[in-house]
Chain A
Amino acid sequence: MSIDMSQFHQVFFEECFEGLEAMESGLLTLDMGDIDSEIINTIFRGAHSIKGGSGTFGFTVVAEYTHIMETLLDEMRDGRRKVTQPAVDVLLGSVDCLREMLTAIQNERNVNNASVAKHKKALEVVLNGGSMAEEPALPVEQEFASEEDSVNVAPDIVEEESVELGEQGWKIAFCPYLDLLKTGNDPVRLFRELNELGELTTTVNIQDVPGFYELDPEECNISWDLKVVGDISGDEIREIFNWVEGDCEMEIQPLAKAVKLPPVVKKIDPEPAAVIIPDNPAPKSVEVKPKVAETKKSESQDSDNEAAKTTAKASSIRVDTDKIDTLINMVGEVVITQSMLGLVGENFSMDKVGQLKRGLAQLERHTRDLQQSVMNIRMLPISFVFSRFPRLVHDISSKLDKKIVLKLVGENTEVDKAVVELINDPLVHLIRNSLDHGIEMPADRVAAGKPETGTIELKAYHRGGHIVIEIIDDGRGLDKDKLLSKAIEKGLVEENNLLTEKQIFELIFMPGFSTAEQLTDISGRGVGMDVVRRNIQSLGGNIEIISELGKGTTIAIHLPLTLAILDGQSVAVGDETYIVPLVSIIESINITERMLNKVAGKGETFRLRNEYLPVIRMRGIFNVHSGNPTKSKEGVLVVVEGQGELCCLLVDELLGQQQVVIKSLEANYRRVEGVSGATILGDGSVALILDVPGLVRFSIR
C-alpha cells in the first residue's frame, strides 16, 4: 500500500520552484491601480499547487504556510481585499521564505523556524489588520471561516474554553466533497481507523444537507469535526486520510495548550450540530485553537526528527516534446540510411559505388542533423536566468531609493544548459553593480537632465557562433581619469604608461581594484569583477566594457553557444595537428619569413594593414621539433582575436575546417597552458584545441 514517495521528491521540488518563480513574477507585475485577475489567479495557482504537493509529501510546514498565503490571495482574488503595496511586499517575502523552506527540506536541513514564524506573523498581520481596516463591517471571524473552509461549529461549543492544559491529540476538520462516496471511500471506515489510534470525538455538521426531496443519496453533504486524543504522530493521522486527500477539504491541527479563542460570531446561525458519540465516548467536546506559532514549532520538529535520508542529487532538464519528436524522427532516418548502406554492402560490386556514395552523403547529413537536435535538447531559453532579475532590481532599487526599470530583451534566446547554470552569478554581480554604482539617485538624474527613472536593459542575442548578453544602463558611466589615477595609486599601472580607453576600462577587472568610496551591502561583497571575468573566461567567453561618462555603461559578455562542440580550423605544426576555434580566427595569410619584423631581437611583429601585430610561433611556443624545419621559412599566419586583442599564430599549414567534439583534458590529466581541451580526429588520434587568450597570455611570459 505504501509507495515510496521520496522518488517523486525531485520532481516536486522542481515544480515548487517553478511555481515560486511564477508567483514572484506575477507579484512583480501586479499593478496596484488596476488589478488583473488573471495575474492573481496565476499567483494563486502557484500557491495552491505548492500547498497540495507539500501536503501529499508530508511537508506540513510548507503546506500550512502556503495555506495562509492562499487565504490572503483568495480574498484578493474575490475582490474582498484590495491589493496594496505592503501586502504585495509581504507576499514577496513569503515567496522567499517558502523558497528557503523548500531548499532546506530538499537538502534535508532543518527549516529555520524563526524566520518562518516571522514571515507568518507578517502575513497574519496583513490578513487581520488589512481586513479589519478596509472591511470593518466584517468580523475577524472572516479569517477563520476561510481558513477552515466550511468548518462550522456551533457557537456554544466554541465558547467553551479548554481547561485541559497540555492535552495531547489532534483536531481534524474534515469536509468531504460531494462525490467522496462515489470514489468508494467511506468516512466511517476512516473514523474507525482513527478510533483505533486514540479516543475519538466526532461532531457532525449537517447544515448543508438539502431537504429530503432534493437529497441525492450518493452525495456526501455532511462534514465532520474530529478530535482524537492520545499520543499520536501527525503522520499516522495523515496516513489515514491519504486516500481521500483529493476528495475533501481537510485541516489537521494538534491539540496543544489551550488558548483563549477570539470571539466567534457566525453570520448565519448554523443548525444545531448533531453529536455522534462513538463506541468509547469522550467526556466533552472541546474546541481548541492553538497559537499558530506553536503549531509551527511542533510541526517543524516533526520534520526535524525525520531521519535524514540521503537522496541522490540528479540534475534534470525539461525538454519540449517537440524537440524529442524531432530527435526520434532523426534517429529513424539514421536507421533507414544504415539499413540501406547494409544492403549495398551485402552484394557489393563496383557498379554500386554511386549508390554507396549517395548513402554515405545521406548518412553524413543525418548525423549532422541528429547531432544538432541532440545539442538542441541541452538548449534552454536565457529567460531561465533573466526571470530572476526583475525581483533583484525591485528589491535593490527600493532599498537604495532609486527609480529603476529593468527591460528584458531577447529572453527566448537559447543557450546551453551549462552556460545557463554558470552565467547566473556573474550576471547578478554585474546588475548589482549597475544598480548601485551605475544608476544615480533620482535627484542627481534630474539635475543631469536625464529622466528620473533609470533604465537597465538586459539583452541577449546570437551573433555568429556566440551568444551575446549585454547589460546596458543609462547611469553615470565610468570615469576614465578616476580609474586611471586609482590604478596608479594602487601601483597597478606605471605613472607614465599610455593606456587606451579600452585598457583603462579593463582595469576594473583587476583583483583588488575598487573605485567605490564606500562598500555597501549591495556591492562590494561577494564575487569581484576579477572573479566575474574569470568565470566568464572559464566558460570560453569574454567580457568587454563600453562606457561614456554621464551617459551610461554597456557591459557585453560573449559566450560560446555550447560547451560541447565547436567549429574548428585544424592547422599543422610540424607533424602535429592543432585545432583553432573558428570563432576566434579573423583571417589567414600566406607569408614568408621576410615579411616578419624582429623587435629587439626577441619578439616578432607582422604588419597587417598599417597595424603591427605580435606573432606567436607555434613551433617555438609548443617546442615542436618534428617535421621539415625548412618549411618554417614560410608558413601561414592565422590572425586571431583573443581577449579583445589581435595577434598572429604562425603555423605550417592549414588543414581543414571541421566540427569537433570537445573532450576534457583535465578529466584524466591536467590543465595545459595554451590548450583549452582536446578532441578526437577522424582517424582516432587526439588533437589539442588551442585556447587563444591563454596562448596570448602564455606567450607574453
Chain B
Amino acid sequence: MAQEAENKDIDQYHYSRNLDNAVQYLSFALGKEEYGVDILRVQEIRSWEPVSRIPNVPCYEKGVVNLRGSIVPILDLRERFNLSKAEYTPLTVVVVLQTGDSNKTRIMGVVVDSVSDVISVDKTEIQSAPDFGTKVSNEFINGLVSVNERMVMLLDVDKLLKLEEFDQDES
C-alpha cells in the first residue's frame, strides 16, 4: 500500500516535471533549414494568397491581406533572413503569429515553404545559438534543438515581428 503511493508520487513527479519543461513548437521549413516557433503564438496557418503591396517599405514586407476584416501584414521569412527567393506555389504557407506586449497585440503572417510538425521540446535541451558572425543574423534565434537528428532553430517571435523603423515612426 505504502509502496504503491510512493510509486504514484514518483509518477506524478515525473509527469509534472515533464509538463514544466516541455514546450511545444511548430516547425516549418525554409529551403533545407528547419525553424520552430512557440506554438502558443501561432494563431492559424493559411495558404498563400496574393497581397496588396505597401509602397516604400523593405522588400521582405510583402504587403497586407484581409484576414476576416482586419488588415494583417505579411512578411517573407526567406527575404527577412536573406535566403534565396522562392516562387510562391499553392503549397506555400502563411503562418499567422501573434506578438506584442500585454496592452497591445498584433497579428502578422509569415511566409514559409511548408509547415512540418509540432515538436515537443524539453527546455533543458535547448542550446543557445552559436555566434554565426555577421553573415546570418541570429538576433531572431532563441536557441537550437535537435529533433530526430535534425537541427531546428527556434525563433523569437517578438523580435522576428518587430518591424524596423517602427519605433522611429511612432516617436
Contacts and interface: CB of A to CB of B under 8 A. Distances in A.
A663 B52 contact: no
Given A663-B71, A667-B70, A686-B71, A672 B56 contact: yes
Contact of B70 (A663, A673, A688): A663
A669 B73 contact: yes
Interface string B158-170: 0000010110011
Interface stretch (B20-28, B61-69, B128-136): B61-69
A664 interface: yes
A671 B57 CA distance: 11
Of A623, A670, A674, A680, most B-chain CB atoms within 10 Å:
A670
B69 A624 contact: no
Contacts of A668: 70-73, 106-108
Contacts of A664: 71
A670 B66 contact: no
Given A678-B64, A685-B66, A686-B66, A669 B163 contact: yes
A408 interface: no
Contacts of A213: none
B70 A670 contact: no
B53 interface: yes
Interface string A678-701: 101000111110000000000000
Interface in B56-100: 56-57, 63-66, 69-73
A623 B166 CA distance: 21
Contacts of A686: 51-52, 63-66, 71
A623 B55 contact: yes
A576 interface: yes
B54 interface: yes
Interface string B92-116: 0000000000000011100000000
Contacts of B65: 685-686
Contact of B169 (A623, A670, A680): A670
Contact of B54 (A663, A672, A684): A672
A625 to B, nearest CB: 10
B169 A684 contact: no
A687 B52 contact: yes
A680 B51 CA distance: 12
Contacts of B71: 663-665, 667-669, 678, 680, 686
Interface string A368-395: 0000000000000000000000000000
Nearest to A677: B71
Contacts of A663: 69-71
Nearest to B109: A668
Nearest to B52: A686
Contacts of B57: 672
A624 B169 CA distance: 23
The number of chain A residues touching the other chain, given as a range, is: 20 to 34
Nearest to A574: B53
A622 interface: yes
Contacts, number: 70
Nearest to B99: A668
A685 B50 contact: yes
A236 to B, nearest CB: 39
A108 to B, nearest CB: 20
Contact of B55 (A624, A667, A669, A684): A624
B32 to A, nearest CB: 31
A500 B56 CA distance: 33
Nearest to B163: A670
A621 interface: yes
> Of residues B55, B57, B72, which shows the largest number of chain A Cβ atoms within 10 Å of its Cβ?
B55
Contacts of A680: 66, 69, 71
Nearest to B106: A668
A467 B64 CA distance: 32
A624 B106 CA distance: 28
A654 to B, nearest CB: 19
B56 A673 contact: yes
Contacts of B64: 665, 669, 678, 686
A674 to B, nearest CB: 7
Nearest to A681: B66
Nearest to A669: B73
A210 B84 CA distance: 102
Contacts of A687: 52
A576 B52 contact: yes
B104 to A, nearest CB: 9
Nearest to A661: B69
Contacts of B69: 663, 680
A676 B65 CA distance: 16
B72 A684 contact: no
Nearest to A623: B55
A667 B52 CA distance: 16
B56 A622 contact: yes
A344 to B, nearest CB: 28
B52 to A, nearest CB: 4
A622 B169 CA distance: 18
Given A684-B66, A686-B71, A667 B54 contact: no
A680 B57 CA distance: 21
Contact of A671 (B52, B55, B63, B169): B169
Contacts of B106: 667-669
B24 to A, nearest CB: 24
A65 to B, nearest CB: 36
Interface in B18-51: 50-51
Interface in A621-643: 621-624
A637 B22 CA distance: 61
Contact of B53 (A576, A665, A669, A673): A576
A467 B51 CA distance: 35
Nearest to A678: B71
Interface of A: 576, 621-624, 663-665, 667-675, 678, 680, 684-688
Q: What are the 10 closest A-B residue pairs judged by CB atoms, nearest first?
A: A622-B55, A686-B52, A669-B73, A668-B106, A680-B66, A678-B71, A663-B71, A670-B166, A686-B64, A686-B66
12 contacts: A622-B56, A667-B70, A668-B73, A669-B64, A672-B55, A672-B56, A674-B56, A680-B66, A686-B66, A686-B71, A687-B52, A688-B55
Given A680-B66, A686-B63, 9 more contacts: A623-B56, A669-B163, A672-B54, A672-B56, A675-B55, A678-B64, A685-B65, A685-B66, A688-B52
